Each structure stands twice: as structure tokens, then as C-alpha cells.
Structure 1
Amino acid sequence: MRPIRLPEPPSGSIGMPDIFEGGVNVIRRAVVIGNGFAGSENQSIGLVRALGLSEKQTIYRVTRPRGGINEWLRWLPVSFHKMLDSVIRQIFGNTRFVMTLQGKKLVPFAAQNGGNVGLSAVLEADPKKIAAMARESFEKEGPLLVVASGRDTVSIASSIKRLAQENVFLIQIQHPRSCLDRFDLVVTPRHDYYALTPSGQQEIPRFLQRWITPREPPGKNVVLTVGALHQVDSVALRIAAAAWHDELAPLPKPLLVVNIGGPTRHCRYGPDLAKQLVSSLYNVLASCGSVRVSFSRRTPQKVSDIILRELGDHPKIYIWDGEEPNPHMGHLAWADAFIITADSVSMLSEACSTGKPVYVVGSEHCKWKFSAFHKALRERRLVRPFTGLEDISNSWSYPPLNDAAEVAGRVRGALAERGWTLQR
């Protein structure tokens, strides 16, 4: 399987003889351990990109069985879940159907390996094989950088580190909840530590506090970010601007992009928020040249139906129908301002990396660590609440949020402490 490659700016080391870039202390390649979800995998790929190793990365994936009775087993560790799924398949036959707990109804299994979410057709993550590859190729290729993200990747990534400790530098993105000393670096949003703040402790009943993680302040190997890592940087935006020039450049300015996610456990909302958004959008249309609206996979149909019914026929407004190609990167490159629902840390992080005005709708529905995330964005003057009273033609700016670049700097420092460096 060929590595997935992303374009990178020209290297400053062109023409440098290989002998000066050799040695067993130079990291020249990266392995990404994904979980089938774009929001997690983009963080790992974004960090590898910021480290300049996109051309030398290989993607592996941890696949959790999905569909049918597996929806009842999502709370199990992925290794035990896989074993139990195998037993069920042996009992009921090696078919794509099993009995669910809902009477005698047969429910098809969803596509494995993440289906159409995130990357597809990538290698299954086998910690023993990856660790053996790191050990066997160490003298010739140098150390291996392993970057993983998401709960299901924790055991795989830590096993690779345990099996090839002297040959691997391991970065785990998103808080692994326990035993942080298994990783060389842990990269996690600052709001994951909300439970330890005075506000967080007031919100959590005392009898539940011992079960909330993290339980201790971040250690030396923990890197805190404002938002989520991603692949959006100046190079990616320039490429997207060129690719979407013919479609988006001629649109009347200012171009307002509206990204609508979906409710989460900590950010609950429904049709009322859609009605509020519609009303506020009508109030600002006079100051807009054009509006582009996109839904996510999590957007409830009740919400999208309201938006389509109320805004679908307006001449200034285009609503993306979900068909490929996805205009998301083109929107980031060409938009003059954004309106984003409060539920998506990823969408907000990407938009804030552009330095353009970002308005948030629905943050009053968020609680727990999501409220801490929105507070951090407001304190850094990265976002403003969308009220419907804005003049979209009045632009404002801020230093772009660049978590991936800041984390990359911490990675280089940690490597230097170990006597390793990155290929330039």
C-alpha cells in the first residue's frame, strides 16, 4: 500500500548530499495510526505535515467492528470487541448479518475500516509488525515517528512503543486517560483538563470526581493546545485557492461561509438553533455578497430541512448538496468570514487558522469542557458570537491559530533531548 501523500513546500535542503542527512539519530519517516474517523485522523496527519514528513508517512488503521450488535459493544476495548465479534460471527456464520437484541430483526453490518469516513483502504494496524519494521530498519532508516489519535489507537500505539522502545518516538493525540508515561509526548487540548479547574470541580459531584480523567495536572510530556490539530496551513490554502478559483473567485463579495455541525453530548441543540440561525442570517444578508452553506455528517435532518426550506431558494445563498467534490478547503481559502455552530472543535480550529472573522452560533448550549474551549477562543479574540446584528463587510482579524506548528516545535525539542532530530 503506497503512503498517502500531501503537497509540501520546497525543502531548503535541496542539493544537500545524503551523507549530511544520514545517521541513526535522524527521523525520516512517520507512521500514522488512525481510527477511521476524519476528525481524529486529520489531527495526526496535520502534525506529520507540520513536521515536514508528509512525503514519508504511511497510514495504518485500527478497525472496530460496527453495525448490528456491535453498536451495543462500543464501550468495550477494541481488542476484546474484535474477539467477541469473531465469536459471534462463528456462531451465526460468516455473513454480514447477525441477530441484534431487537427481537428477530436482522441488521446489516456497516462497512468496515471506517466506511466512507476518513481515509479508506489503508493497512490494518498490527503492533508486532510495525515494531519489527522499526527495529529491523533502524540502522538504515533511523528512528520511526509514530503518531496516533483517538481512544481505539491507544493500546496499539503503546504496544508499538513497548516492543521497539529504542527505535520509536511515540506521540498520542487526544488524552489517553491513563498511564501517560507510555508515550513520549501526549498532545491534547487544554480544555481536556477542565475537570481540574475550580469551575470544573464545582460542576462535578464529589462522588464522581475520582472517575473523571485526567486526575493529575499535565506533566512534562504533555503538550496543551487551544483546539484540534488539522491539515490547514498556508500551503494547503494556496493549493485550494487555485483549485477552487473558477467556482468561488467570481462570487460577489464578501463571501460568508456557514458550516453547520450537529449536537453532541456536551453541546445539545435542535431545530430551535436552526430557526435562530435562519433569522439571524436574514438580518445580515444585506451586508453579504454571497453565502455558502455546508452541513456535516452529524447534522440532524430536522436541522438541515429547516435550513433548506427557509434559505434554499434565496438568490444569494448556495447550499452544498453533499456530493463530491467537497468544497470545504475552497471555502476556507476564499471565504471572507465564517459562521460555525459551536459543537465542532475541528471546524472552529480550522477556520481560526485563517485569521479571518469567525462567528459562533449556539455556544450558549455548550457545557462542561466545551464551554471552556469557547471561552479560550473568545479570550484570544479568535471568535465572536453571531447575533444577526453584524455587518459582514466590516472585517476584523487576529493572529491565526497555529496549534500544529507550535506542537511541531515541542516535538523537535523533545527529540533533541533524546539526541534525535528530524530530516530537513
Structure 2
Amino acid sequence: KAMPEAAGAVAAAAVADRLHGSKEDRKLAIVLVGLPARGKTFTAVKLTRYLRWLGHETKHFNVGKYRRLKHGANQSADFFRPDNQEGIEARNEVAALAMEDMIDWMHGGGQVGIFDATNSTRKRRYMLMKMAEGNCKIIFLETICNDRNIIERNVRLKIQQSPDYADQPDYEAGLQDFLERLTNYEKVYEPVQEGSYIKMIDMVKGEGGQLQVNNISGYLPGRIVFFLVNSHLAPRPILLTRHGESLHNVRGRVGGDTVLSEDGELYSKKLANFIEKRLKNEKTATIWTSTLQRTILTATPIVGFPKIQWRALDEINSGVCDGMTYEEIKKIMPEEYESRKKDKLRYRYPRGESYLDVIQRLEPVIIELERQRAPVVVISHQAVLRALYSYFADRPLREVPDMEVTWHFDLLLLHQRCI
């Protein structure tokens, strides 16, 4: 069966990387670098979620968790002093343990490991590079923030959220300890200048800032750079909703481009009232629909906001099955019916798409949603919303085809700031 254009391009790039890249280049370690409270873990979590959604076996390795398991969560700032040789050895030991686990995981089939720690000295990074030789390619990802207001906010969140201070009842004492820890790291911090690297400099707000890259090549590293260019930490709401019920929905038919039913029209009016109340103070919000009538008509009663039609938001292409009921497909094309039943994620309709194809064509939508700083309302279709929601909820791809997207119901997704 012919492969849709977007999926074909991705497959071709992946094959080229496998054919022309060295063995170790097929496994990728993204090694975070940066002082505390600079958004490393936030970036690691977002990147892990994005790569998993694209279908890459990706895992987040947080070295802080290894340290707490081996040495406890109540280590004071003295543990992080640059002249505390015992502390340095202990921290290098847990970093090596995490790196060994990541390499073992890669040997078991993992593709991209996100190694989350300060990794703030050349000596530490050299240790990781030696361990990676013959096993995986390392790309350093350095997060730099020079905005004192943002750093102070992140420090406060750190005290409130970090397991290191969960048993510290005195906020001010915890704050003082963390500031001392931060000073200890600042004394020995060495910016990345070696190997392949990406530097994110003052990109927290999504306005201005710089992204520097060195010695980056290949399809997947390129996708990572493109994702990071468009990412930021500013919170904003994203609302996902299915279109109002259409005439084809009433008749139980797949696909098509019919108008709304009476219930669908009623929902479009109620949705408009909801949007007006929910976003009345958000004049820069936008409404996104597919190019199909049922989403455009659902958005019609909404006034006061610009509307954008995305072909990428169209429902899954059911190919030769378009307009049929599932009972008709079962009767006329029993082999196709059974194939779809066995593997809805990978099944591709004849001359149509699979869920994996839908995910590939939705990547530009995800990138644009990540780039937006204002609220966005997405009015789309069941398969598309399943794919979008699985990204934001970090749900496994295998769950996508069976996720419930109910009629005439709004999903409110809020981009939350984390550190």
C-alpha cells in the first residue's frame, strides 16, 4: 500500500541515517548541561514526550533520583561543595550508574536517552563521553538563563516541588540551603565547548533568545533542534474539542464531508458561548479547524477571534472505505476489517491513512502549538484529537486508537510550568 507523503519522507530519512551513520550514531544520548533552576528537567520532560509521540523509544534518566536513592534526599549544600572530595566522588558515582543504566537500556532496544543532570564541568562531561564511546552518540543540551527574575521564580518553585526539600518544613531554611548549593555549582561551572552541542540561551519566554548548535547532523538531531527552537516555558491554555455531530455521524458512516445535525448545530452555539466566557480577556486567542465542513460549521458561531483552517487537522483518510459503515466494511472487505481490528494503530486504509500517518502529519501542528504564546482552540476530529491529546498527556502510542473522545465535550489542556 502506498505510504502518505509525510510518513514516506520520515521513513526515507530514517533509513538514510541507518545506512550512512555509524553504529553508535543510531543510539542518541541527549545530555543536559546547566546550573540548577535553569529549566533542564522541564526541557528534558518536554523533549522526551515529543520524541515518544513521534514513535522513538525514548527514556528520561534523572540523575537526581539516583542520588536520592543511594544517598538520601536530605543532603545539605555541603554535599555539593567543590572542595568536598567525598561528595564529588559520590555524585560522579551516581552519574556513572545512571549512564550505565541508559546504555544497558539502549542495548535492549532504546533509541534516545535523555540524561538529566547539571553535568557542569568538562571533567564530568568527558567521563560521560568515554562511557558513550562505541555505544551511543552524545549531544550536549545546555540551558542558559540570565534573567534574574526567572531564576528567582524557578528557585522558589524548586523549594516547593523538589523531593530534596520535601521534608524541610522551614521554607526560608530550604531557600538558603538551595542558594548555597547554587553558589557551589557556579564556582566550578564550565560552559560547553566540546563535541556536538545545542545551547538554549534565554529562550524561556519564547521571545528573543538564542539557540546555538555545533556539529549537529542527521534527521533526528535536526528534528530535536527544530522542536527546541519553537519551545518555551510560558503557560497558556489549549482547548481541544471534537466538531459537532454531523449527518454522517448520525448514519454511522466513516469520513465524508457532511454538514452538522440538529444536535451538532446546538453544540456549536453552546461552544461559542463557552469560548466567549472562557476567553473573553484573551483577545489574541485563535480558533483552528480542519478544512472539512463539520469543523468549520462548528466554529461559525464563534465571533471575535481569527480562524485558521489546517488541512493537517482533517480526519483520518479512510480511503476506499470513505462513506461506508463499519458493518458494510465487515461484509464487503472482511480482510480489511479484521486487519484493522488486530492493529488499529498501524492499520492503513486502502488508499488512505493509518493512525501513525496521522501522527506524522500532525507534527507541524504540535510544533506550532508549542510555539504559540496565546490560547488556541482546536476543533477537529476523533482520530486527530486522539493523537493530539496523547501528546499533551504523554500517553503511549498503543493507546491512541482507543482513547475516548466524547461528543460535545471540551478538553481543557493547560501548559504548566515545571522545573
Same fold (TM over 0.5): no
Higher helix proportion, which one?
A: 2
Of structures 1 and 2, the one with the larger relative CO (CA 8 A, separation 6+) is: 2
Highest Rg: 1 or 2? Answer: 2
TM-score, structure 1 as length reference: 0.30
TM-score, structure 2 as length reference: 0.30
